Amino acid sequence: MAKSGVRADETRNTWKRVLEKYHENRGTPLSADYWSPKDTWSRDRIRDVQNEKIKAVAPFLYENSAFYRARFDRLGLAPTDITSVDSMIRNWPVVTKHEMMEDATAHPPYGTYSTAGDREWDDRGWMLFSSSGSTGIPRVFRYTHFDRKYWEQANARALYSGGLRQGDSAFPMVGFGPHVFAWGVQYALAKMGLPVIPGGGMDGTARARIIERFQPKVLVCTPSYALYLGRSMQSMGMDPADSSVKWIVQGGEPFSGVSGTLERIQDLWGATSVEFYGCTEASPHCGGYSCPEYQAGDEPFIHLMEDIQVWETVDPDTLEPVAEGERGISVCTNLNSESSAQLRFLVGDYTRLSYEPCGCGRNHVRGMGCMTGRSDDLINLRGIKFFPVQIEEAVRSIPGAGDEFQIRLQTQEGGLDTMIVVVEHIDSSVAERVAQEIRTRCEVRSTVEIVAPNTLPKSEMKAKRVFDERVKD
């Protein structure tokens, strides 16, 4: 919640001037390979800009967010203690979703972690978004038109890196609700001057007919919906791989780093999947994105846009930084917003960071194996911990398995917690094999229930696959 006052306005204006200094109002690409010269900045150049932005954003947050001011004071810190990436990591503990949820509960409906208050919203309000990933109180964010123009550029850079070019007509197949992904893509497509075929409010049959008739080259959807629509087309006698679609821009769910899922989508469509990764709180525009090399090595990866964000990985238990190249959970400092600048927000996706130069010419850090297994989604069953993506990999390893599955956690009469995994398949005898694959990956026994293909529900947005029905103490 923004404050009024001379100091609040001074720090806001200083922060906005720094953002403007590095803003490009670009509607066409720099070259055949890059949207912006920032794409090929050196590591030193990236770090210098990060430091300059951090020095300006710390006092801005202190003066314009009651949440941040209270946290500074509680930690015994002044904004002048955070003037660089190194000093930020050294002095500022990560901000968790739990802290934000507590703040939103105490100060409904917006909380005080945002720096866009009623005054900014009335003057230049653009759109309200809310978090969609974790359970608990939703975090709501009011973004301004000042933010929008920065989103457009970041997202255009990401989509251009993924391969989209002039004339690539796009077909967004999402409900335009209060979730960031679809809106971010939509505004970037407009900035890039690409034609769009609106695809909201249609069922799978109608969308299949749109693809057949109007021949879009780009689909925008969640990974689970890409699978669902492809199967729907097959049931109508169409072959998705023979369609006009060449690119599938996907967000909202992990897929690139999930063994079997990326391959399944690309084989079904005969098209290239493009990652569009972010989170509402600290990466509302695209933070992670694909480049031409992202599938060329032993494991896929995404680039992380470092001139507008600082990305780290920390230990999931201690929340302390892990050594370079070690697997940890993601932390993002957002340096690209008037409304939701954030210092060290715990996004919580597992990855390994690599600072080695990429064959595409970009020096921005890479998340190796992409982003998988959000720490919030960790399942603890009888003391054994695993992630839904491990179950997904087990299911994908079975030939003929359907695209959807469900994980049902229950408590038996004697108090024992159990897991049932529901899998689509035409052959009920594969249940034992699925159970073995799950045990190999997760070291836990489970019951596997086989249902007919296309039995489980499909969704345009994030698929709900975990149902925790256990008795809680």
Which phi and psi angles does 48 have, rounded to 5°?
A: -60, -45
Residues 346-370, mean pLDDT to the nearest whole number: 94
Q: Output the pLDDT for position 331.
A: 96
Which phi and psi angles does 279 have, rounded to 5°?
A: -150, 150
Least confident of 1-5, 32-36, 50-54, 62-66: 1-5
Give 134's pLDDT tier (boundaries 50, 70, 90). very low
Residues 58-67, mean pLDDT to the nearest whole number: 97
Give 136's pLDDT tier (boundaries 50, 70, 90). low
Least confident of 27-31, 206-210, 228-232: 228-232
pLDDT surpassing 50 at residue 109: yes
pLDDT surpassing 50 at residue 152: yes
Which phi and psi angles does 38 have, rounded to 5°?
A: -65, -25
Residues 452-468, mean pLDDT to the nearest whole number: 82
- Among 163, 215, 228, which Cα is nearest to 192's? 163
pLDDT tens digit sequence for 177-219: 777 888 889 999 999 999 999 998 888 899 999 999 999 999 9
pLDDT surpassing 60 at residue 1: no
Residues 39-68, mean pLDDT to the nearest whole number: 98
Q: Output the pLDDT for position 473.
A: 60
Q: Output the pLDDT for position 135.
A: 46
H/E stretch holding 385: strand 384-386
Residues 337-344, mean pLDDT to the nearest whole number: 95
pLDDT surpassing 50 at residue 444: yes
Q: Which residue has the higher pLDDT, 66 or 442?
A: 66
Determine contact, residues 213/171, Cβ cutoff 8 Å.
Answer: no
Separation CA 279–CA 131 (nearest Å): 8
Determine contact, residues 249/185, Cβ cutoff 8 Å.
Answer: yes
pLDDT tens digit sequence for 413-437: 766 788 999 999 999 999 999 999 9
- Residue 31 CB neighbours (<10 A): 10
Residues 22-30, mean pLDDT to the nearest whole number: 95
Separation CA 269–CA 173 (nearest Å): 15
Separation CA 171–CA 186 (nearest Å): 10
> Between the CA atoms of 23, 367, 343 and 373, what dihedral angle is there, to the nearest 10 degrees?
130
Q: What does the block give as tokens for 244?
A: 């006009």
Separation CA 72–CA 339 (nearest Å): 19
Give 222's pLDDT tier (boundaries 50, 70, 90). confident
pLDDT tens digit sequence for 168-180: 999 998 877 777 8
* Residue with token string 């697997």: 327
Give 133's pLDDT tier (boundaries 50, 70, 90). very low
Q: Are strands 384-386 and 379-381 parallel, antiparallel or unpaired?
A: antiparallel
Separation CA 147–CA 137 (nearest Å): 24
Q: Output the pLDDT for position 284.
A: 80
C-alpha 404: how far from chain center: 20
Q: What does the block give as tokens for 452?
A: 């007919």
For 258-317, the three-class secondary structure string (H helix, E strand, C coil) is: CCCHHHHHHHHHCCEEEEEEEECCCEEEEEEECCCCCCCCCCCEEEECCCCEEEEEECCC
Q: Output the pLDDT for position 434.
A: 94
Determine contact, residues 183/127, Cβ cutoff 8 Å.
Answer: yes
Q: Output the pLDDT for position 154.
A: 95
Share of the chain above pLDDT 90, in %: 68
What's the mean per-residue pLDDT of the chain?
A: 90
